[in-house]
Every structure is written in structure tokens, then in C-alpha cells.
Amino acid sequence: MKYDFSTNYEINKMLNSVVDNITNLAEEQLLHIKRLTRIGESLSSESDLDKIFDMILEEGISFTKADAATIYKVNDEATKLEFEIVYNATLNLLKGGTKGPINWKAIDLYNEDGTPVNDKIVTNVFHNKRSLCFDDVYEAKGYDVSGTIKTDQENNYRCKSMLTIPLKNHEDRVLGVIQFINAMDENSNIISFTEEHKAMLSSLASQAAIALSNKKLIEDLEELLNQFIRSIAGAIERKSKYSSNHITRVALLTEMIANKINDIGEKYFPERKFSENELKELSMAGWMHDVGKIVTPEAIMDKSTKLETICDRIELVKLRIEKLELLLSYLQVKLSESDFADFIHHYIDLELEPKDFHSYLEDLTNFLINVNEGKEFVDKTDLERVDKFSNIDFEYEGKHYFIFTADEKKNMMISGRGTFTPEEMKIMQDHVSITWEMLSQLSFPKKYENVAFYASTHHEMLNGKGYPKGYSADNLPLQSRILAVADVFEALTAADRPYKKAKTLTESLTIMGFMVKDGQLDKDLVSFFLDSGLYKEYAERFMKREYIDEVDINAIKAKYSG
């Protein structure tokens, strides 16, 4: 657009030229401001550091027309500068950032004796926390630029102007270094970096430092969260002298299953890939699935027999039987044969022959020791015998003779699997509800918002008969089902449980097959667990060798297929 500033043609032409130059400069500056704004906005919305670095590099090159640039990041130990992005237009080179990692050797920040490396430009900028700018880097006195010269010679290139800036966070800590090489004018001639360039690139460096600092802060907070989670899990595991590695094994198996689904699970779970955040979320749930046991009494967690409390009360039962045997031995001598027989028939057992009382009481002791052990199933006749022996309860010459207290009888009459009374089982099952109560009160980041739900549903069943909520299949996502399978398989294969005998791999998987048939476990997930060989990977890592047998996968599947 032309303006009429004067009737003089030359003056009018000159003024229009000035306006055009000012307009172009303003538009260019406005464009840079927009780009800086876009980068600033990305710092608050973009979690991918590589994308942010790409934008920062692009803007720096656009503003200075630099031919080359490099972004370095300080490693976690603060001992090296690692290459994040390398760009060179002349050499048609672009590595790092969103293009993938750079496998170049990192630059040492310290000598072998621990002294700082100060003679290289990038390391000097790191240690001294100040920018360095050279019109011709080959003439940089006091710095070792032999590496730069050698690389130039190998690539037929010439580094000349260079600006190197530290990426400092709010604590004045250097997190990285950004370097621009060979600023250019409109005619692609190499020029020195101007004060305007330095100001602009320093602003970009600050934004890069913010991005690095934010990412590091987030990573540190997540690492702290993970450390805290595993610390709590370790504290819970130390409560039990038996199942001390249960949480660890379940968490690791959960991770193994999820990763394997990502690798080869397409056939079983079409288009189902867990994102990195979903994998972390599920892992946290695995480590936290038994956090509610922090309030479960140790006496219940470690109840290895039916009569165990602080001690195993079977020892008290054995002492009472010995006391009874001493009484009978005494009465056998004191009373006549008929009176002794009457005593035994009245107080002990109508079927007991007086002369056999020693063997009878020995058999009674062995029988009760056996019943005291937790089993998958207790025969009805055994419970009837326990009930009958509880009737041995009398006084003689001021002394009380009995086999069980009322509470001991209640425990010995446990007919289901394991060693818990219904009340104790309720206390054990409450750990899942407590897990939910504890975790649901924590403000997990939104990307991990399901940790509490996954952790508290590992005892739910697809048929709706699980606990604590009785959720059905529609309410249980794949993550909950994975955790349930991991928990069951670990429990079945564990050889460190005092209340059950260790099972072979085949026995454990057979039980899981029946659980699928009964609608408790996910059919596709268990099939994938078998076909992928995950069961074998876990067994070789965690099971005792004597319990690892050859598994007939088809036989296991036959339990729930057809």
C-alpha cells in the first residue's frame, strides 16, 4: 500500500520505503512475539519436553537465521551434558527432540580428579552460569576448540559466530545449555550475534529452563510418590512373617501382564494398548492393592492354624489331654476295674474300652493336630468328632478337665477353606474397603485418578460374587481384571503361606481354570496368560523349582471352554 506524504516524488518514495521497512519490522517482531507466546502457552499445556525443545529451537533459528544449533541437558547426576537436539542446515542434520534420541557421547563436566572442566565453551558456560558469545569461535582465546575445528574439517564446515547460553531455573541451577552457531543476514552471509539476538535467545533459554525445571519437578514428584507407595507396601509386608513378598510379587506380575498385552495382546484385546500413564497407574494400584492391611491385626494376617492367636492353642489342648491321661492313669490304679469303666463311659466316651485309653488319647491328639491345620475342605465326620470331643468337660476332686474352650471349639469347627472364622474372614476382607477409603482420599494426578478403584477391586469377580462391592463384569475394566488374576495366581503359587500347602504350577492353573468356569476370572485374560507363557515366566522367576511342572495348557482351558 502506497501513501501520499508529499507532492515530491523522491521524498514520497523515500517515506513510503521507510514505512514499508517499519511495517515489515513490526510484523516480524509481532510474529516473534506470537511464537514466544505460543511457546509460553506450551509450557503450561505441553507435557512432551521434546516438542517444547523443537519449538524453542525453531524460534531461535528463525529469529537469528542461525545455520546450526544444539540443546544440551544435564544428566541426573550432574556430571555430563547430554545431547538433546542437534541441528545443522548446511549439513542437512537434525537429530533428537521429536526425531528420537541422540546416541552421541555425552560431554564430561568434570575431570577424573573431580575438578571442573572449564576449558570447553559449553562446560564453561555450565560451571560459570553465564553466556559466551564469539564473533569467530576459532579465535576464542582460553578455550579448547580443537574438537570443533576437527569436526568442521571432517564435515567441510566452518563454525564462526557462536552464542552459548545456560538454561538456569529459578534456583539459579543450570539444567542445560543451548548453543547457536553462525547467525546470518538476509543474503545468507555469516554475521555476529547482535545484542538483540542475545536478548531474544536469552528469553528462549529461560523458557527452555522453565520447561526442563517443570519436567524435572514433575518427575521428582512422581518418583517421590512411587517411593512413598513402595515404602508403604514394604511396611505392610513386614507386618507378616509369612507372606512378606506378596505385594511385591502381585505388583510385578501386574506390570508383566500389562506390558505383555501391549506387546502381543492384539488377538485377545483388539486395539487395546495401555499408554505410559495407564501403565504407571496400574503399577501404582498393584503396589497399593493391600494398603488396607495396615490396620489388619497381625494375629489374623498370620493365623497359620485354626487355634492360633498369640500362640497356637493346640499346645494347650495337648496339655489338657495329657492332664486327662494322668488322671485316668491314677484312677486306673485307685478304682476297681468296673468303677474305672463306669467313670470312663460316663465322662469320656461310651465306645472307649478302659484298657485302651492311652492309645485313644494319643489318637485324639493326632486327630486334633490334623484338624487344626487349614485345609481346602474338612470332612463332615471330622467336624462331628470335634463336636463330640468338646463334650469331654467335667470336674473331679475340685479340678476341671476339658478339651476345648467355647472359642477354641468354634475355631476347630471351621468347615471352609483356611483357618479363619466368619468374623475373622470379615476382618480380612475389610482390608479392601479400607484400601478404597485410604486411597480415594488422596489427590492423585488426574492421569492416575483410577489408582484407588483398581486397587480396591482386586477381589471383585465378574459374576458379581466378589467383595467388597459385588461389582459385575460391566463395572470391572481390564485393569481391575488384570490385578485380580495377578493376586489369585500369586496366592495359589506362593509357598510361604502357613495356612495352606504349596501347589504345583498345574494345580494352581487348574484352580484358575475352574474360577473362569465359575465366572470369577476373565476368560480372555486367563487364556492370554496361558498362551503368552506369562505363567512360566513368573514361575521361573518366583516359584520354587520343585513346584514347577509341565503344564498342559489345553487341559487347563478345557475346564472352562466348550
Each residue's pLDDT tens digit, 262-301? 999 999 999 899 999 999 999 999 999 998 888 878 777 7
Write out the three cell numbers for 126: 555450565
Burial of 400 (0-12, 13-18, 19+ CB in 10 A): exposed
Where residue 258 sits, what CATH number does that domain have? 1.10.3210.10
Supply the mean pLDDT for the chain.
Answer: 86
| Predicted local distance difference test score (pLDDT) of residue 208 | 76
For the chain, how long is the longest CA-to-CA vector? 152
Average pLDDT, integer, range 8-31: 60
Average pLDDT, integer, range 117-121: 95
Are 179 and 164 spatial neighbours (Cβ–Cβ below 8 Å)?
yes
Return d(Cα 11, Cα 407) in angstroms, integer. 112
Tell me whether residue 321 is in a domain: yes
- Is the domain of 84 the same as that of 166? yes
Which pLDDT band, with edges at 50, 70 and 90, does 461 fall under? very high
Return d(Cα 93, Cα 151) in angstroms, integer. 14
Tell me whether residue 7 is in a domain: no
Handedness of CA 110, 116, 117, 123 (dihedral sign): positive
* Cα distance from N-terminal residue to C-terminal residue, the chain: 82
Q: What phi and psi values does residue 446 have, to the nearest 5 degrees?
A: -55, -35
- Is the domain of 161 the same as that of 24? yes
Return d(Cα 374, Cα 306) in angstroms, integer. 7
Least Cα distance to 353 among 341, 361, 336 occurs for 341
Answer yes or no: is pLDDT of 18 > 60: no
Number of domains composing the chain: 3
| Predicted local distance difference test score (pLDDT) of residue 13 | 66
| Predicted local distance difference test score (pLDDT) of residue 497 | 63
Tell me whether residue 10 is in a domain: no
- Is the domain of 323 the same as that of 436? no
Distance (Å) of CA 532 to CA 232, 384, 483: 32, 47, 17
pLDDT tens, position by position, 182-224: 999 988 999 999 988 888 888 878 877 877 777 777 777 888 8
Among 26-40, 237-251, 348-362, 452-466, name the one with the lowest average pLDDT. 26-40
Return d(Cα 308, Cα 330) in angstroms, integer. 32
Tell me whether residue 365 is in a domain: yes
Residue 240 or 521, more confident: 521
- Is the domain of 394 the same as that of 433? no
- Is the domain of 70 the same as that of 200? yes
pTM higher than 0.75: no
pLDDT tens, position by position, 147-179: 999 999 999 999 999 999 998 887 888 989 999
- Domain hosting 96: range is 16-217
Which pLDDT band, with edges at 50, 70 and 90, does 426 fall under? confident
- Is the domain of 491 the same as that of 350? no
CB atoms within 10 A of CB 267: 10
Residue 123 or 35, more confident: 123
| Predicted local distance difference test score (pLDDT) of residue 326 | 93
Tell me whether residue 177 is in a domain: yes
Average pLDDT, integer, range 37-60: 67
Average pLDDT, integer, range 3-19: 62
Tell me whether residue 299 is in a domain: no
Tell me whether residue 232 is in a domain: no
Return d(Cα 510, Cα 497) in angstroms, integer. 19
| Predicted local distance difference test score (pLDDT) of residue 320 | 93
Among 395, 419, 443, residue at a domain's last position? 419
Least Cα distance to 49 among 281, 224, 217, 284 occurs for 217
| Predicted local distance difference test score (pLDDT) of residue 309 | 83
- Is the domain of 338 the same as that of 458? no
In DSSP terms, 463 is beta-bridged to 472
Which pLDDT band, with edges at 50, 70 and 90, does 25 fall under? low
Answer yes or no: is pLDDT of 403 > 90: yes
pLDDT tens, position by position, 364-381: 999 999 888 877 678 888
- Is the domain of 137 the same as that of 160? yes
Which pLDDT band, with edges at 50, 70 and 90, does 303 fall under? confident
- Is the domain of 258 the same as that of 163? no
| Predicted local distance difference test score (pLDDT) of residue 8 | 63
| Predicted local distance difference test score (pLDDT) of residue 113 | 93
Write out the three cell numbers for 147: 574438537
Q: What percent of the chain has pLDDT over 90?
A: 52
Answer yes or no: is pLDDT of 418 > 60: yes
- Is the domain of 409 the same as that of 432? no
- Is the domain of 192 the same as that of 74? yes
Where residue 101 sits, what CATH number does that domain have? 3.30.450.40
| Predicted local distance difference test score (pLDDT) of residue 27 | 59
| Predicted local distance difference test score (pLDDT) of residue 89 | 93
| Predicted local distance difference test score (pLDDT) of residue 163 | 95
Among 419, 445, 477, residue at a domain's last position? 419
- Is the domain of 382 the same as that of 270? no
Answer yes or no: is pLDDT of 345 > 70: yes
| Predicted local distance difference test score (pLDDT) of residue 365 | 92
Tell me whether residue 530 is in a domain: yes
